[in-house]
Amino acid sequence: MPHDPLTRRAFSAAVLSTPLLLKAKPSSTEARVKIDTERVIGEIDPKIYGNFTEMLGRCVDGGIFDPGNSLSDSEGYRTDVLKAAEGLRVSLLRWPGGNFSSNYNWRDGIGPRGERPARVEMAWGTVEPNRFGTHEFLRYCELLKTEPYLCANLGTGSWDEAQQWVEYCNYPGETATTRLREKNGRQQPWSVKYWGLGNEMDGPWQMGHRSAEDYGKFALEAAKLMKWTDPSIKLIAAGSSNYAADWTGWNRTVLQYLNHHADYLSMHMYVGNRDNNYYEFLASSLELAERTKIAEGIIRDALRDTPKHPIYIAWDEWNVWYRARGEGKEKGRRILEEQYNLEDAVVVATFLNAFLNHAHIVKIANLAQLVNVIAPIFTSETGLFLQTIYYPLQLFANNSFGTALDLFVESPGYASKSFDSVPYLDVSAAHDNGTLVVNLVNRHLTDKLAVTLELEDKKFAGAFEVATVNGPDIKAQNTFGSSPVKIENSHTEASGARLRYELPPHSYTMLKGKLSG
Ligand code: AHR
């Protein structure tokens, strides 16, 4: 996909990658970032640090929930997993799928556990015992202190099912459905705010897959009933996930129907390094940025007659995922158990940078998924370890808040198959109450990159914290008992308006400190 050659970031990198200008300053190992705290992209919504727990493999069952395990509490939740998840400050948790949601009847997952029906689960080819349902999920959200996001079944499901799930969870009055909730032990409504209008409805792999027209019409009727039951809910329309098809056309058509009812347009993106081409893989986030910009344009167009009603983008599934695709030797519950390496972690950092750099329009993002299934946390029956991708997510989610800043970036770069200029330096910055956080990725495989931060309107007010995610080589993986990829913490002196810092090759570094003036 072609990029916009006129964007400032792309232009600087393109110029600097020409052989002639490489001789000029800055040299190929130098980069500059100008920072002006008044040049704001948008408010960073903490919901971009969301996550996802699908009823799939060992994510829920054997992941967050494992009754009878000695590491679980009296309600069956794994306490070590909960603690690791707390480290990610998960702001929003999506459930029950994913593909699973397209054949899920929420009524199967309520009531006494022993009486719940086991069902054929066609998304992942298994049997779902339904011992974990709405009450168990919403209780987990309370324990994790996160906001729930329920994805309704708009595949095989009906308008009634979707409407009554909202009623069951949120309706304050007395009805047959809310009496059932009380009978099942929950007096007060939960007031679940975020509701998905189906999952990946553009994919032929989806149960109940429809054309954009058919989905748009069907989702509109569901949306009306859901919002009439609880007008305070926010609805997330199923936008593009199938980029092999006419994905822009899908979004345009869906928004023609849902522009008055949807609050977010969901998009999904998974990337991988199938042909072991490091530099192509490291350029993936440029494609994410491109798709974000295109979707933003489609949203703007769809809102031309409804200007008071914003629609934001929800990247509610994103990650590196290409090895464990649920094929071949993967069997039973041990599916999609991707093992991550350092280069994956660096790509994850570039995706988080892209969310910050589009903070005005990207207001939700959910890493897929939380535990075991393409996840930053990996368990056995007796413990867990943190995968490489845990660390960039942890640093962003605990530090990058406030406003995202519009940076001037000058960096050497390289050409990829789809982009003329991929800067070696990938960067975002957050400013919150006098605290500046700069997220710096050095995409270079072998060379250090010296970055000079130049403050336009403030001064550095003392030492800056440095946190670096790196490891011995790009293929290094963590496992039980060994974590070659982790966060290294240090400090760097900072005064005046300039800070020069040398980034190691293939790394992500967070600089954080106070500004004055
Ligand atoms: O996250 C794994 C799967 O990827 C989800 O179930 C689906 O929505 C996507 O295709």
pLDDT tens, residue by residue, 155-204: 999 999 999 999 999 999 999 999 999 999 999 999 999 999 999 999 99
Q: Whose CA is nearest to atom 7 of ligand 1?
A: 98
Residues 406-419 pLDDT 10s: 999 999 999 999 99
pLDDT at 14: 34
Percent with pLDDT over 70 in the chain: 95
pLDDT at 22: 36
Beta bridge partners, 194, equal 149, 234
Residues 234-277 pLDDT 10s: 999 999 999 999 999 999 999 999 999 999 999 999 999 999 99
- The answer, yes or no, to whether residue 9 has pLDDT greater than 60, is no
Q: Are 367 and 50 spatial neighbours (Cβ–Cβ below 8 Å)?
A: yes
Beta bridge partners, 256, equal none
- The answer, yes or no, to whether residue 286 has pLDDT greater than 80, is yes
Residues 291-321 pLDDT 10s: 999 999 999 999 998 878 899 999 999 999 9
CA of 386 to the centre of ligand 1 (A): 22
pLDDT at 28: 62
**Site residues for ligand 1, CB cut-off 6 Å:** 54, 97-99, 199-200, 317, 368-369
CA of 243 to the centre of ligand 1 (A): 14
- The answer, yes or no, to whether residue 358 has pLDDT greater than 80, is yes
Which of 55, 100, 200 has most ligand 1 atoms within 8 Å of CB, for mutation?
Answer: 200
Q: Whose CA is nearest to atom 1 of ligand 1?
A: 368
pLDDT at 513: 98
CA of 56 to the centre of ligand 1 (A): 9
* pLDDT mean across residues, the chain: 94
Atom of ligand 1 nearest to the CA of 56: 6
Rounded to whole angstroms, how far apart are CA atoms 348 and 322? 14
Atom of ligand 1 nearest to the CA of 319: 1
**Mean pLDDT for the stretch of residues 16-25:** 37
- The answer, yes or no, to whether residue 465 has pLDDT greater than 80, is yes
- The answer, yes or no, to whether residue 391 has pLDDT greater than 50, is yes
Q: Are 198 and 154 spatial neighbours (Cβ–Cβ below 8 Å)?
A: yes
Q: Catalytic residue positions?
A: 200, 317
Atom of ligand 1 nearest to the CA of 369: 1
Cis peptide upstream of residue 96 (ω within 30 degrees of 0): yes
Rounded to the nearest 10 degrees, how much is the dihedral formed by the CA atoms of 477, 479, 485, 487? 150
Residues 88-105 pLDDT 10s: 999 999 999 999 999 999
Q: Which of 403, 393, 405, 399 is nearest to 369 (CA)?
A: 393
CA of 200 to the centre of ligand 1 (A): 8
Residue 333: pLDDT band with limits 50, 70, 90 = confident
Q: Are 169 and 231 spatial neighbours (Cβ–Cβ below 8 Å)?
A: no
pLDDT at 308: 80
Atom of ligand 1 nearest to the CA of 54: 6
Rounded to whole angstroms, how far apart are CA atoms 187 and 410? 57
- The answer, yes or no, to whether residue 140 has pLDDT greater than 50, is yes
Mutual angle of helices 342-357 and 284-302, in 10-degree steps: 30
